[in-house]
Structure 1
Amino acid sequence: MTQPPDPPGAEIPVPRDGAPRPYSAIAVIGGGSWGTALATVAARAGRDTRLWLRDAALADEINRDHVNSRYLPGIALPERLVAMTDMAAALKGAEAVLLVTPSTTIRDMAEKIAALSPRGIPIFVCAKGIEKGSGLLMSDVASQMAPERPVGTVTGPTFATETAAGHPTAVTVACTSDVRTPPGQRAAARMALSLTTDSFRPYVSDDMPGVEVGGAVKNVIAIACGILAGAGFGENSRAALITRGLDEMKELAVRLGGRRETVTGLGGLGDLMLTCSSQQSRNFYYGFQRGQGVADADVFDGKPVVVEGRHNAVTVTDLARRLNLHMPISEMVRAIVAEDAPIGEAFAAYWASPIRAERRGLELEFAHPAVEAVTRRFEDMTG
């Protein structure tokens, strides 16, 4: 088994007065691959870590054998990581919560956490997306259901297996905070210190919209990149989609009160580059299979794999339409995954759209001069 050294918490220097102080006990809600990886990081950082999951047999395996063979096979988990199926027990005494379940469950899970934990305990929502119907970011959903407590996120270019295996990894930790609280004592700084190990390096942000928009939209762009790769197109095509997809992320973030520079950080550009460049990404690989001609119902051999980008493609574009914001790549992916548009037609419509200035402040638009040729270029794509 792969097992990097487990640095004990004592190896982290004791904070000086005024510096962040780590949380001593952390509850991780969600025992999938990323939940288990984050719990592993917290335990290796010296935190008292409890991992809640639904499957009693899997919890027993984690506690007995220190492995999660279903979601992180081959990774040895720290002995101080304790798994349990009783959420109240997992939350008892926790100073902070990492909520790591799919985006569609965040409303229900946040409500349960609020009923079982004291007010004031921060909740870091690690799901990425926008809620269907309401158009709310995940942090806003959690704040509605668990009021009077800080709500944040841990996000960035991370594959769970590599993180748990101890590969050097950097993330952004962001959280809402009372501005009267000194920066070093805010929840984001405290959680960043709580997760810091020899291989896991957090950065701190106060821009929740900027960080969360990046996490939601990158899944959609990754599907588009996967489709082109599966259909046999090369790196030029991928680079174009990543760059223009980044612009869509920036525009949505700004509309929601975020900052453009945040989107160029780990939670935006970093996560976008990783997710759009590897078949380890479920979103990219879903798109890759579709680009190879696999029907939607048959991807992942028909197994019920969570692909957040399929859901995000609809919720992101619903929100963009509500804000009168043009997001053509996200709209293209929505047309393919939610409206059964032929893949070739959808890509041709995007590629042959009017030519515009790259800088939005420059007023310029004219018709594409080779619409028919573009259509022929993409007409052989499967789907």
Structure 2
Amino acid sequence: MKRVTFLGIGSFGTSLGILLASCGHNVTIWGRNKDEVDRIKKDRINKKYLPDITIPSNVIITSDIDEAIKGSQYIVLAVPSYSIRSVCKLISDKLKKDQVLISLAKGIEEETNLRLSEVIQQEAPFNPVVVLLGPSHAEEVSRNIPTTVVVSSKEMEYAGKVQDLFMSKYFRVYTNDDLIGVEIGGAVKNIIALTCGICDGLGYGDNTRAALMTRGMSEIIKIGTLLGGKQETFFGLTGMGDLIVTCTSLHSRNRRAGIQIGKGIPVDEACKNIGMVVEGVAACQAFYELKEKLGVSMPITDELYKILFKNKDIKEAAHSLMNRDKKNEMY
């Protein structure tokens, strides 16, 4: 039995907290907003994110950060990518060296272009850092629908410990020592999912989605291998697996936001309507800037960037993709 703290009271952190509590671990979930925390503590339901799921009475819910992390062996960073650094700063002087930090976020940090494990390590240089990523909608995890994910770390002994922590009859965890590949695949797929949603909103069909997913995988592999990831990782759960689930499911906030954008709703309004962070928007900006710096061809990312930040007409962007110079599929 382990003590595990989840920092962040969103959908995935809540669902994993329930999972670990059901396995007999001592679980604490922390949230910044005291009023929201008090409501959830009273109702035992996270109405905003998981309205049909009851949080067990043995899960501690608190807005006191000191209470939350004291004595915990594992601290799970269940916050969006843009909050990773600020939350790490909040806890850095409270951490003990033997506390393992686990990141669930998918993306890279804007401006620095650092992977999130690198951000965490900068703020907590003496703590082991593990990432847990893969095709895993919180709505399904919370209902014990069989799910598989991947853990990775610079220190794989700790990835093995996190694998043991989360393994259950409904939640299977694999290890992969390609930390770069695991993180990059999980970040870039959000760009492709947002694009697929836009095309769904336009009324395009399965042919278009299949093309975007396949050519999107090419972009993931290009940038991922250039950054040091292994090609085979991108055909696994945190690459192809995550791409499939995010591009095809209506649980996907990126796809749902894209559908609204494709129907003509302004980007900011579409993201607000989703009610959760749409990571594909920030990822698109970050990877656009990164691929420009590295000189990598990523045409889907290019066109999405122009739609989101340059007000390019969506059908014109689709036309631009379809009418690029002819080429061999393998290049």
**TM-score in terms of structure 1 length:** 0.83
Structure 1 vs Structure 2: percent identity of aligned residues? 35
Out of 175, 180, 191, the position equivalent to 1:220 is 191
Please tell me whether the aligned partners of residues 216 and 316 of structure 1 are also in contact (alpha carbons under 8 angstroms): no
Residues in 2 aligned to 1:176 and 1:318: alpha-carbon distance in whole angstroms: 26
Residue in 1 that maps onto 2:59: 81
**TM-score in terms of structure 2 length:** 0.95
Residue in 2 that maps onto 1:110: 88
Distance apart, 1:45 and its partner CA: 2.1
Off by >6 Å, runs of 4+ in structure 1: none
Residues in 1 aligned to 2:133 and 2:232: alpha-carbon distance in whole angstroms: 16
Distance apart, 1:301 and its partner CA: 6.8
Please tell me whether the aligned partners of residues 3 and 26 of structure 2 are also in contact (alpha carbons under 8 angstroms): yes
- The 5 Å alignment of 1:2-81 reads 24-81=2-59
Cα pair distance change 1:322/1:83, threshold 3 Å: same
Cα pair distance change 1:141/1:260, threshold 3 Å: same
| Residue-pair matches, total | 331
SS in 2 for 1:118: coil
Residues in 1 aligned to 2:28 and 2:245: alpha-carbon distance in whole angstroms: 29
Deviations 1:319-375 (A, max 9, x none): 111111111111111111122111111111111111222223xxxxxxxxxxxxxxx
Out of 296, 300, 325, the position equivalent to 1:325 is 296
Distance apart, 1:56 and its partner CA: 2.4
SS in 1 for 2:54: coil
Gaps of 5+ in 2: none
Distance apart, 1:62 and its partner CA: 3.8
- The 5 Å alignment of 1:137-216 reads 137-177=115-155, 186-216=157-187
Matched, 1:273 2:223: no
Cα pair distance change 1:253/1:44, threshold 3 Å: same
Residue in 2 that maps onto 1:253: 224
Matched, 1:92 2:60: no
Distance apart, 1:65 and its partner CA: 3.7
Distance apart, 1:112 and its partner CA: 1.9
Cα pair distance change 1:65/1:208, threshold 3 Å: same
* Structure ID, larger Rg: 1
Distance apart, 1:317 and its partner CA: 1.3
Question: Counterpart amino acid of 1:276?
Answer: C
Residues in 1 aligned to 2:237 and 2:114: alpha-carbon distance in whole angstroms: 22
Gaps of 5+ in 1: 1-8, 10-23, 178-182, 361-383
Please tell me whether the aligned partners of residues 173 and 202 of structure 1 are also in contact (alpha carbons under 8 angstroms): yes
Question: Counterpart amino acid of 2:12?
Answer: W
Please tell me whether the aligned partners of residues 221 and 329 of structure 1 are also in contact (alpha carbons under 8 angstroms): yes
Residues in 1 aligned to 2:223 and 2:274: alpha-carbon distance in whole angstroms: 32
